[in-house]
Structure 1
Amino acid sequence: MSKTTKIKTPARYELVMNQLMEAAERLFAQKGVAGTSLQELAEAVGLTRTGIYHYVKGKDEMLETLVKGFTLETARDLERLAGAESGTAIDRLREGVTNMACKVAQHPQRFRLLLTSEGAFPEALAKQYRTARKRTLTALTDLVAQSIREGSCRAVNDEMAAFSLLGVCNWVAFWYPHGEKTSDLTPEQLSSQLTAVALEGLIAGRDASGAGGIAQMIGLLREDIDRLEGMIVTD
């Protein structure tokens, strides 16, 4: 591959940056962040050692790009959905979970790298990463709580439910696309189906007709009481 040192167009810049990120996730996974040199990253995409500085300042900046592409964007997306006033809370929760799962499915190796390389982050980046993860949990918990208050979800512990949904999305990085019956699914198809499964146990499937007998009606009343108590605590 011929080597270049100049950025010719915005399109080329984006192309080379994507190639650099792919090379970084591959080499970082194989050799570790500390064991990968900028020279190796440059050669992987056909750049000179000097040419790579037209794109990145160093490995720390590449790590920061990876973190922003996942953790920070996810936090912002969930905060946007949690703060929205239009639409139902359950629809916004469904959108948020779907977006998270799709992002992981699109770049599973990159996401695994973030999880396993946290200890190699510079302190400033590690702080950003931890803060973004906390923001993600807070916003997702808020979406679950909103869904509970509107009656769309069962009256469960909202933070526990948020942790469960995060776990479902994160775990995608460790099995997709290697499953025999999931490898043919696109990230979009996978995330949509996964969200439906993940929310199935949370969504309130209420049958207030009384057909289920007294025990079922008592269960519904208990859910309503739990929901009311949660609203009182929130207020």
Structure 2
Amino acid sequence: MLAGLCAAREFGYRWGFLTPASKEELKVVMSKAQTKSDALRENILEVATRLFIERGFDGTSFNDIADVVGVSRPALYYYFKSKEAILEVLTTVVTRAAGELASEALPEDLRQPAAMLRHLVLRHAHLILTHPLQFRVVERNEDNLPLKQRKLAEQSRRAVLEQFRQAIELGIERGQFRMMDAKVAAFSIIGMCNWTAWWFTPSGPRKADEIAEQIADMALRSVEQDAGRQLSEQSVAGVLKLLRDDIDLLERHVKP
């Protein structure tokens, strides 16, 4: 596995010094060795991802990963000291990104409930659609994450839920969204985003951005008030008018 790098070192030691031509030869040898090393590391991560999703972290041993990759345990140990180290590498990017997004302030021009909710959906869906396998590993093996990452994942999840809930409640208060349990609606929309990790295929006919846009449209339609019932501004008069309209409609249906 490391024959190329060893050969490069031996080459330098044997000659004591390197001419310009031999320096280039050494660079080629080391570059090829590094490329093979990087490819093997990526293969280890891909295999571990699949096994962690299929069998779970507890159901996957270090030897299982080595066997599927086709290397010895010592060779695998050269790249990763434990399966915990592999899990940490696989989940760091997505948990860190989720934490950063959850703490990110909304732009000033996104103060309207619909624009706010749309932004949140697009942002959350895009994160998952661009890291589907990593997200599945986190979901499947969260209890086995390093403590720091597990806490970050929990904090991010709570923060995302609160952002969605607040946006929906604001829309309800302003008469732009229908009356509903804002927390249930938030869970439902977040779940719609999360589920993409289990069916989205990057090589499929629809790109991540297109799917995120469609999910955002569906999310808004699920909560928006009918156009004729939306209030232009929050006011008692506007609410009373909607109530009178409902009463008139009810009376027309109950009269003989």
Among candidates 91, 98, 107, match of residue 122 of structure 2: 98
Tell whether 2:109 aligns with 1:86.
yes
> Does the C-alpha gap of structure 1 residues 15 and 160 become closer, same or farther in structure 2, counting only changes over 3 Å?
farther
2 CA distance for matches of 1:116 and 1:122?
Answer: 14
Cα distance, 1:96 vs. partner? 1.8
Q: Is the 8 A contact 2:99 2:152 kept in 1?
A: no
**Residue in structure 1 matched with residue 221 of structure 2 by the alignment:** 200
Answer 1 or 2: which has greater helix percent: 2
Cα distance, 1:122 vs. partner? 4.4
Give per-residue Cα distances to partners, 1:175-194, cap 9 Å, x unaligned. 3349xxx9411111111112
Cα distance, 1:68 vs. partner? 3.9
Q: Secondary structure at the match of 2:228?
A: coil
Q: Is the 8 A contact 1:100 1:169 kept in 2?
A: yes
Q: Which structure 1 segments of 5+ residues have no match? A: 210-215, 223-235
Give per-residue Cα distances to partners, 1:91-137, cap 9 Å, x unaligned. 23212212222332334333222222223334554333323222221
**Residue in structure 2 matched with residue 110 of structure 1 by the alignment:** 134
Tell whether 2:211 aligns with 1:161.
no
Q: Which amino acid aligns with 1:202?
A: V
Cα distance, 1:16 vs. partner? 7.8
Q: Which amino acid aligns with 1:69?
A: V
**Residue in structure 2 matched with residue 144 of structure 1 by the alignment:** 168
2 CA distance for matches of 1:114 and 1:78?
Answer: 17
Among candidates 54, 68, 79, match of residue 52 of structure 1: 79
2 CA distance for matches of 1:38 and 1:160?
Answer: 43
Q: Which structure 2 segments of 5+ residues have no match? A: 6-29, 231-240, 248-256
Q: Is the 8 A contact 1:29 1:113 kept in 2?
A: yes
> Does the C-alpha gap of structure 1 residues 138 and 19 become closer, same or farther in structure 2, counting only changes over 3 Å?
farther
> Does the C-alpha gap of structure 1 residues 192 and 76 become closer, same or farther in structure 2, counting only changes over 3 Å?
same
Among candidates 225, 240, 243, match of residue 218 of structure 1: 243
Q: Which amino acid aligns with 1:88?
A: R
Cα distance, 1:200 vs. partner? 0.6
2 CA distance for matches of 1:50 and 1:22?
Answer: 16
In the superposition, the TM-score normalised over structure 1's length comes to: 0.65
2 CA distance for matches of 1:30 and 1:169?
Answer: 21
Give per-residue Cα distances to partners, 1:153-209, cap 9 Å, x unaligned. 33432222211111111122233349xxx9411111111112211221212333159
Q: Which amino acid aligns with 1:87?
A: L
Identity of aligned residues (%): 20
Query: Alpha carbon RMSD of aligned pairs, Å?
Result: 4.2
Q: Secondary structure at the match of 1:207?
A: helix
Q: Is the 8 A contact 2:91 2:134 kept in 1?
A: no
Q: Is the 8 A contact 1:108 1:176 kept in 2?
A: yes
Larger radius of gyration: 2
Q: Which amino acid aligns with 2:109?
A: S
Tell whether 2:212 aligns with 1:187.
no
2 CA distance for matches of 1:5 and 1:149?
Answer: 67
1 CA distance for matches of 2:196 and 2:54?
Answer: 20
Among candidates 13, 28, 33, match of residue 57 of structure 2: 33
Give per-residue Cα distances to partners, 1:59-105, cap 9 Å, x unaligned. 33443344443344234324425x44333342232122122223323
> Does the C-alpha gap of structure 1 residues 61 and 177 become closer, same or farther in structure 2, counting only changes over 3 Å?
same
Q: Which amino acid aligns with 1:207?
A: G
Aligned length: 206
2 CA distance for matches of 1:14 and 1:135?
Answer: 36
